[in-house]
Chain A
Amino acid sequence: MSTAAHASAGAAESTPFPSAKLGIWWFLASEIMVFGGLIVSYLLFRMAGPGWSAELHHNSTLLGTVNTLILLTSSFTMVEVHRAHGRGEEAKFRLHLALTILLGLVFLAIKGAEYTAHIREGLVPAKSMFWAFYFGMTGLHGLHVLGGIVANACLYAVAARPGGVARYGHRAEMNGLYWHFVDVVWIFLFPLLYLG
């Protein structure tokens, strides 16, 4: 613990980590347990039965790969947002933030197209255990992507004001931690649900 004396009274004793970051970390720790619970359940069912290779083949590896690349790229642009804040480059900050939001929307659009195709084929959640897990896991992940888009859009709204980047730009780091987490979850879901 540091005993760095602040000019203002109180809050003299703290960990080396900013509160906002600690908060996000605790939040992500609990999120890991949510997806962990789902993934472990998925694995238990999969190992208990003959496997789901037939169902897995219904999923387009191409679309899954494209979506993976989109999310990875958006993680990169998110890092750029954070960097731009550090360097005080306001235009770049806004550009990359907009790109991140856009990539997230494209991800959801592709996911939506996949959902539509599945449902047209009758591959609804009630069809089998695989499809129940597929829709449950990607659906919950999709909601998280949506949440990240909303958080980034809020940040964009305040960053678009004059002086907004300087004032609120540090939030990019928190949004980024969350966004990377959402990305990492997808890295787990992609092989489990597309590659077999």
Chain B
Amino acid sequence: MSGTTAAAGGHHGEPGGFLRKYVFSADHKMIARQYMFISLFWAAVGGYFAYIIRWQLAHPEADIPLFGRPIGPDEYNAFVTMHGTIMVFFVAMPLLLASFGNFLIPLMIGARDMAFPRLNMLSVWVLGAASALLLLSFFVEGGPAAGGWTGYPPLSARTAYVGADKGMDLWLLALALEFASFLMGGINFLVTPLNMRTRGMGLLRMPLFVWMVMIASLLFLLSVGPLVAGAVMLLLDRNLGTSFFLASGGGDPLLWQHLFWFFGHPEVYVILLPGLGAMMEVMPTFSRKTIFGYRPIIVAVLVAGALSFVVWAHHQYISGLDPRLATPFSVTTILISVPFALIVFALLATLWGGSIRLATPMWFAVGGLAVFIFGGLTGIFNGSAAVDIYIHDTYFVVAHFHSTFFSALFLAGFAAIYYWYPKMFGRMMNEALGQIHFWGTFLFFLAVFVPMHLVGVGGMMRRIANPGQYEFLAPLSGLNRMITMSAVLLLLSQFFFAFNFFWSMFRGRRAPDNPWEGTTLEWTTPSPPPHGNWPGEVPQVHHPPYGYGLPGAGEDWVPQHRPAPSGAGAGR
């Protein structure tokens, strides 16, 4: 087994020099930090765009503070497009899947690094190249892509239709590179847990976060292909005059939608699952109780993943698809609520009877769960083809998917950052600032996205630059202004995080090895872990994760690497 033995002894020694250590590093922990900084940079950009979008909707055609002038409808489309593209592909995937996947998989399964460290380094560099192309697209003539993050042709296929010219091609190339980056990353996230586990770490003893990252990577690898094919066709349509998506030349605009959404729905879970996985780590630790339903959760996620391949047309009920297809897709879509309900119930049952300490990571985890339930439930409306006739392409949809994405990406993402920050940077974050950050984020999030559902009920269309142009939307202007105010406050709350994040890196209290009394392997090594992850031998694993409250055990928790006391029911 060449791959497994090669990394075991730390086959690449401690790197020396600034460039080798911080830039061209093949160490999974440094790569994780690189991914984190890339995603936080883009999160700041994406958040700024959200602010511009919201300001325009509340005060159309007014000067935008911190931008300096009003924006035109063409610029508005570009901001909407780039906000979506950035948040989905350059924030959510790098932060949850790549950053925490990279950092935690080897530490959690007891490996010294990923299976393919150099491929890992390549993947973050390709993401860097994708980021550079995306940045470049802001400065080319015609501006960046403006066809929506879904890039529906024919709009996206012809410069005459969309306005953006080379910006559109750069957008496609940036996405193609992003996909390539995550294909490489995904191969690592799949192979490492399969082949690099320490002694005693059976597949069903891996922490759930590792399972979630594995399944997310699997979904990505199997779903992105058709969209890559679609991107190739769209590039040909744009540059070689073909007509794959243009009816005038014999093509079909709906083909793109099939290719895009075949990828699009699994992609939702690519983002969601690592977030849920982070909640599944944080919640047992802070309720001092083992996860409820480890195996049922894994089965449910696999079922949801499989179902996600047969629901794509729920984005296309009213697209001109044969209307008889809507009902079967509506059934599969709504059935997805069954496995996700199981996951939610399992997490709630994990809390039941626990001894819950509400530190910042736990606040973000339970807040994330509460919002995830809310967002999941509003998805049922969209899943029903009949209701979708009215709410499709309205702010109801926007409010729904922000509720699910925000809970998984930001609330669960912050839970993960506050929880693993001590391990990653060797310092504790400030607890008081963390709690202020949580309440600001949580309450202002609700103040933005609960009323946004009402805006959708009122019929306001997505991606319109000026609701003031419509009489039937006039009653919504007060709501829109209130949402914008809340969004500004939501964004301002993030400064508590930014300050805490960078200040703690240098001034935070030194972190002990195991500040939260967690049971998984990442807590058995110093914070931050040395090159090779464990100073001595990699610990051996004796029982499943989350060994809290084991009957017969003297202490209320038994880490995975410590043999369970005799008579303790930790055999499963």
Across the interface, which residues of B come within 8 angstroms of A23, CB to CB? 3, 115-116, 119, 187-188, 191
Shortest distance between the CB of A35 and any CB in chain B (Å): 7
Shortest distance between the CB of B570 and any CB in chain A (Å): 18
Residue of B nearest to A5 (CB): B199
Q: Which of A33, A37, A129, A170 contacts B249 (CB 8 A)?
A: A129
Asked whether, in the complex, the Cβ of B251 is within 8 Å of the Cβ of A129, the reply is: yes
Please measure, in the bound complex, the distance between the C-alpha atom of A9 and the C-alpha atom of B8, giving whole angstroms.
7
Q: Is residue A58 within 8 Å, beta carbon to beta carbon, of the partner chain?
A: no
Knowing A22-B191, A36-B226, A126-B241, say if A9 contacts B221 (CB, 8 Å).
no
Stretch at the interface among A13-21, A77-85, A188-196: A13-21
Please measure, in the bound complex, the distance between the C-alpha atom of A40 and the C-alpha atom of B199, giving whole angstroms.
45
Please measure, in the bound complex, the distance between the C-alpha atom of A24 and the C-alpha atom of B250, giving whole angstroms.
37
Q: Is residue A10 within 8 Å, beta carbon to beta carbon, of the partner chain?
A: yes
- Tally of contact residues, A, Cβ under 8 A: 45
Q: Which of B190, B197, B224, B244 contacts A11 (CB 8 A)?
A: B197
Knowing A19-B116, A30-B224, A44-B255, say if A136 contacts B3 (CB, 8 Å).
no
Across the interface, which residues of A come within 8 angstroms of B190, CB to CB? 22, 26
Interface contacts (Cβ under 8 Å), in number, total: 170
Asked whether, in the complex, the Cβ of A132 is within 8 Å of the Cβ of B187, the reply is: no
Asked whether, in the complex, the Cβ of A126 is within 8 Å of the Cβ of B243, the reply is: yes
Across the interface, which residues of A come within 8 angstroms of B251, CB to CB? 45, 129, 132
Shortest distance between the CB of A45 and any CB in chain B (Å): 7
Interface residues of B in 102-130 (CB under 8 A from A): 110-112, 115-116, 119
Q: Which of B3, B236, B240 contacts A19 (CB 8 A)?
A: B3
Q: Is residue A49 within 8 Å, beta carbon to beta carbon, of the partner chain?
A: yes
Asked whether, in the complex, the Cβ of A11 is within 8 Å of the Cβ of B198, the reply is: yes
Q: Is residue B140 within 8 Å, beta carbon to beta carbon, of the partner chain?
A: no
Cβ contacts B1-14/A at 8 Å (1 or 0 each): 11111011100000
Q: Is residue B194 within 8 Å, beta carbon to beta carbon, of the partner chain?
A: yes
Shortest distance between the CB of B523 and any CB in chain A (Å): 17
Q: Is residue B474 within 8 Å, beta carbon to beta carbon, of the partner chain?
A: no
Residue of B nearest to A49 (CB): B250
Q: Is residue B303 within 8 Å, beta carbon to beta carbon, of the partner chain?
A: no
Knowing A26-B190, A37-B229, A125-B236, say if A15 contacts B195 (CB, 8 Å).
yes
Residue of A nearest to B230 (CB): A37
Q: Is residue B74 within 8 Å, beta carbon to beta carbon, of the partner chain?
A: no
Q: Is residue A114 within 8 Å, beta carbon to beta carbon, of the partner chain?
A: no
Across the interface, which residues of B come within 8 angstroms of A17, CB to CB? 194-195
Asked whether, in the complex, the Cβ of B221 is within 8 Å of the Cβ of A26, the reply is: yes
Q: Is residue B23 within 8 Å, beta carbon to beta carbon, of the partner chain?
A: no
Asked whether, in the complex, the Cβ of B226 is within 8 Å of the Cβ of A37, the reply is: yes
Q: Is residue B434 within 8 Å, beta carbon to beta carbon, of the partner chain?
A: no
Asked whether, in the complex, the Cβ of B228 is within 8 Å of the Cβ of A37, the reply is: yes
Shortest distance between the CB of A89 and any CB in chain B (Å): 21
Shortest distance between the CB of A115 and any CB in chain B (Å): 13
Knowing A18-B2, A41-B255, say if A12 contacts B221 (CB, 8 Å).
no
Across the interface, which residues of A come within 8 angstroms of B187, CB to CB? 23, 26-27
Stretch at the interface among B200-208, B359-367, B408-416: B200-208
Across the interface, which residues of B come within 8 angstroms of A11, CB to CB? 1, 4-5, 7-8, 111-112, 195-198
Interface residues of A in 49-98 (CB under 8 A from B): 49
Please measure, in the bound complex, the distance between the C-alpha atom of A15 and the C-alpha atom of B225, giving whole angstroms.
26
Across the interface, which residues of B come within 8 angstroms of A126, CB to CB? 240-243, 249
Please measure, in the bound complex, the distance between the C-alpha atom of A112 and the C-alpha atom of B222, giving whole angstroms.
31
Shortest distance between the CB of A107 and any CB in chain B (Å): 20
Q: Is residue B36 within 8 Å, beta carbon to beta carbon, of the partner chain?
A: no
Residue of B nearest to A22 (CB): B191
Knowing A27-B187, A33-B222, A136-B232, say if A14 contacts B240 (CB, 8 Å).
no
Please measure, in the bound complex, the distance between the C-alpha atom of A13 and the C-alpha atom of B194, giving whole angstroms.
8
Please measure, in the bound complex, the distance between the C-alpha atom of A72 and the C-alpha atom of B449, giving whole angstroms.
58
Q: Is residue B326 within 8 Å, beta carbon to beta carbon, of the partner chain?
A: no
Q: Is residue A150 within 8 Å, beta carbon to beta carbon, of the partner chain?
A: no
Q: Which of B4, B116, B226, B240 contacts A124 (CB 8 A)?
A: B240
Shortest distance between the CB of A104 and any CB in chain B (Å): 21
Given contacts A13-B201, A18-B3, A37-B227, 6 further A-B contacts (CB under 8 A): A8-B9, A10-B196, A13-B198, A23-B191, A38-B232, A41-B259
What are 8 A-to-B residue pairs whose CB atoms are below 8 Å? A8-B8, A11-B197, A12-B198, A19-B2, A19-B115, A30-B224, A33-B223, A37-B227
